[in-house]
Amino acid sequence: MAGEDELKLLGTWASPWVSRVKLALHLKGLSYEYVEQDLDNKSDLLLTSNPVHKKVPVLIHNGKPICESVVILEYIDEAYGTTGPSLLPTDPYERAIARFWVDYIDQKLVIPWKVAFTADGEEEKTEGIKQMLAVVQTLEGALKECSKGKPFFGGDSVGYVDIALGGLLAFLQGTEELCGTKPFDIANTPLLLAWVERFTALDAAKVALPDVTKLVEFAKTKRLRI
């Protein structure tokens, strides 16, 4: 039917990758239907929409599925290019830098975090923490470089890198309880600390991010698979 635009998001409440998509949809002012998935008992819709990976998030736009959080983010930005703010910069070089840092976050932050959280041995855990903190330190530098004194990686407004890191925020805020170390501190990562405060105050963040206490509780009891 003419004028109908249907967005459906398949996700799980705790997933940071799903949070990323929720953030983007809210920032763009887009309404969507959210369908919570049971990953221990996968729905037909999930299996047919993401037959390759069978994972969340999946965004279904007018019946057509898009998978992989970063692919979904770029899709939202392009399909809704004239709706709401742009998520990626327009300049090719700045776009490349934004994509680089999102790729960095996905390649380098998550694995040591998981090690720090799940490792049984003290040595392994310490190594995980060390690597995670080194990555966070690099991101502090990235924030300085990208923001150029402005509030966000995207400058004056929230952008692609902000969303990619922002999706992980509830986990990052729960890191002290789950991994035994604070990821951010005033001495080493003052810019990121300020960025966290700013980001969590956003309306989109309040809707898209899970409650930290609930998440920590859940992670502890279920030894969460992200």
Partner 1 sequence: LQSTSYRHIASAQSSMQKHHTIWKKNRQNMSSEKQETAAVRVLGRWPSPFVIRVLIVLGLKGVDHELVEEAVGNKSELLLASNPVHKMIPVLLHHGRPISESLIIVQYVDEAWASHAPALLPSDPYARAAERFWAHYVDDKFPTAIRVLRGRLDGDKDEAAAQVCAALQRLEVAFVECGQGKDYFGGDNVGYLDIALGSHLGWVRAVERIAEIRLLDAAKVPKLAAWADRFCAHPAVADAMPDVDRFVEFSLKNDGALKAASANSK
Question: Interface residues with partner 1 (CB under 8 A)?
Answer: 52, 61, 64, 66-68, 70-72, 74-75, 78-79, 92-93, 95-96, 99-100, 103-104, 138
Q: Report, in Å, the least distance between residue 100 CB and partner 1.
A: 6
Question: Can you tell me the distance from the alpha carbon of 121 to that of 139, in angstroms, rounded to the nearest whole number?
Answer: 27
Other Cβ atoms within 10 Å of 88 Cβ, number: 18
CB 217, min distance to partner 1, A: 32
Q: How far is the CB of 174 from partner 1 (least distance, A)?
A: 26
Q: How far is CA 132 from CA 128, 145, 175, 183, 205, in A?
A: 6, 20, 11, 8, 23
Rounded least distance, CB 98 to partner 1, Å: 9
Using CA atoms, how far apart are residues 155 and 163, in angstroms rounded to an integer? Answer: 13
Between 141 and 180, name the residue whose CB sits nearer to partner 1.
141
Which of 77, 162 has the CB closer to partner 1?
A: 77
Q: Which of 60/178 has CB closer to partner 1?
A: 60
Closest CA to 160 of 88, 55, 110, 60: 88
Partners of residue 8 on adjacent β-strands: 33, 60
The nearer residue to partner 1, 91 or 156, going by C-beta atoms, is 91
- For the CB of residue 56, give the shortest distance to partner 1 in the complex, in Å: 15
- Identify which of residues 13 and 104 has a Cβ nearer to partner 1 in the complex: 104
